[in-house]
Chain A
């Protein structure tokens, strides 16, 4: 197996084990860290696909900002350990019922797939910041701008909701009252 093949399986294994860790960890902080592991392994896989920009953004945005916020909230809530809420019944049966069709379906879907390089691939240019920027501002300009507006609306909405229905004056008074 080539070095790339070994790297792929190592990263894939980290990603899968991290995913399992998210589910089976009893402590929320460990779950968050497992998810960080998944994100980093995915970033490595992106890099192996020559998507350098996506690699950097995956780490900066997901591992560096979103997961830090998750961890922040979990750490703020304190060291409450989650115990099982009740005895589980028939969970192995549920697992088989859900997983078996999924596995068969995925196998049937992916069985016939032949992988090949995209046509006209220039590997010195593919996945670079230049190419992604070029794509975003030419072919995909409208989807890109619409997504930006959607994100802006979501951000403004989140700020409005987190005020808890108070007006701007009440908010200012509240802050001054607390800062003594």
Chain B
């Protein structure tokens, strides 16, 4: 049996072995992460609107700043200065708590996500043995945000949106978790660094192997479930405008509304980054010439493109279709995938 609890981090100047230096490094890393994530979120929204425009044959935002690149700064300022309005009859504590939960949960997931900054230096805040389980644990907290936001708003549309969101999240969490079990069997680890750096020796080739080559079914199940978990089209029933106004978001405005949006987009980037780490060999060179950090970024942007492509292409599912897809198709497929992979892994070893 292997024991891989502690990996030794690179320690260029001896800062890391000093306890105060260690905390300093971690705090600086966390602050940087928050800024990078906020910027990435803003540009994901911009990217989405531009790509949607491109697909729908219209320009998209192109007026604020060069190529419209400052659009999101303007939008953020505008929404931050809006009156933060709370309707009569809301539950005052839970109404404010809900947007907080979703933002905290979204940022916490990034504590365990490793990013290769160069070929020899990997960035992480916490290198947990249970890595990916921590992401799932934190991600499952965002169900509370939508459910509590919907319940506390004292509005029937909000409540229906919140209930839909909770049912959807619970249904697809099962398929999401099971879709990755074959990966754990193949790599023998739950630690994201190990999964991203999974290497093989195949004849002349020796190096990291993108796991999508050996587990394509897992990727399909993972991606469909991830789209459902982040409430994105075609699974955006919790905020279906034609039926529920804004769903659980109906009564939110100003910064609290912004928090929900921030959470949704960070979760989208998180699931894309996880897909890159698990299925596409993370920051390890695939494009050859790009440095590690850019390789990672380009891959995440490409996965995000699939998200936006789906949104531009597919109509929203009906509620019974959503449940049928989750429970009667994805879940049995995921279990069959686990069994088949288990047999193959045992046969090969």
A residues sitting closer than 8 Å to B (CB atoms) are 29, 33, 36, 52-53, 55-57, 59-60, 63-65, 68-69, 71-72, 75-76, 79, 122, 124-125, 128-131, 134, 175, 179
Contact = CB atoms under 8 A, between A and B. Distances in A.
B2 A76 contact: no
Interface in B1-48: 1-3, 5-6
Interface of B: 1-3, 5-6, 91, 94, 128-130, 133-134, 136-138, 140-141, 143-144, 147-148, 150-151, 154, 159, 162-163, 166-167, 169-170, 173, 177, 190, 320
Contacts of B138: 59
Contact of A64 (B3, B91, B141, B162): B141
Contact of A72 (B136, B166, B320): B166
Contacts of B154: 79
A54 B61 CA distance: 48
Contact of B136 (A60, A122, A134): A60
B267 to A, nearest CB: 14
A53 B3 contact: no
A65 B249 CA distance: 22
B170 A56 contact: no
A74 to B, nearest CB: 8
A124 B320 contact: no
Contacts, number: 88
A131 B138 CA distance: 23
Given A29-B94, A75-B150, 18 more contacts: A29-B151, A52-B129, A56-B134, A64-B140, A65-B170, A65-B173, A68-B140, A68-B170, A69-B170, A75-B147, A75-B151, A79-B154, A124-B5, A125-B3, A129-B129, A129-B133, A130-B1, A179-B320
B128 A52 contact: yes
B170 A71 contact: no
Given A59-B140, A125-B5, A130-B3, A72 B147 contact: yes
A52 B3 CA distance: 14
15 contacts: A29-B94, A55-B137, A56-B137, A64-B140, A64-B143, A65-B170, A68-B166, A72-B147, A72-B166, A75-B150, A75-B159, A75-B163, A79-B154, A128-B5, A129-B129
A57 B140 CA distance: 11
B180 to A, nearest CB: 13
A45 to B, nearest CB: 15
A65 B190 contact: no
B279 to A, nearest CB: 21
Nearest to A71: B147
Nearest to A57: B133
Contact of A76 (B1, B133, B140, B163): B163
B162 A75 contact: yes
B162 to A, nearest CB: 7
B322 to A, nearest CB: 13
A63 B140 contact: yes
A59 B137 contact: yes
A175 B136 contact: no
A128 B129 contact: yes
A179 B324 CA distance: 14
B163 A72 contact: yes
Contacts of A79: 154
Q: Counting chain B CB atoms within 10 Å of each CB, which of A59, A63, A68, A124 scores highest? A: A68
B308 to A, nearest CB: 28
B5 to A, nearest CB: 5
Contacts of B148: 29, 33, 71
B169 A68 contact: yes
A168 B334 CA distance: 25
Contacts of A131: 1
Contact of B144 (A36, A52, A124): A36
- Complex A-B, nearest 10 residue pairs according to Cβ-Cβ distance, in ascending order: A64-B140, A56-B133, A59-B137, A75-B151, A124-B5, A125-B3, A68-B143, A56-B130, A52-B130, A60-B137
A87 B148 CA distance: 32
Nearest to B151: A75
Q: Counting chain A CB atoms within 10 Å of each CB, which of B136, B140, B159 scores highest? A: B140
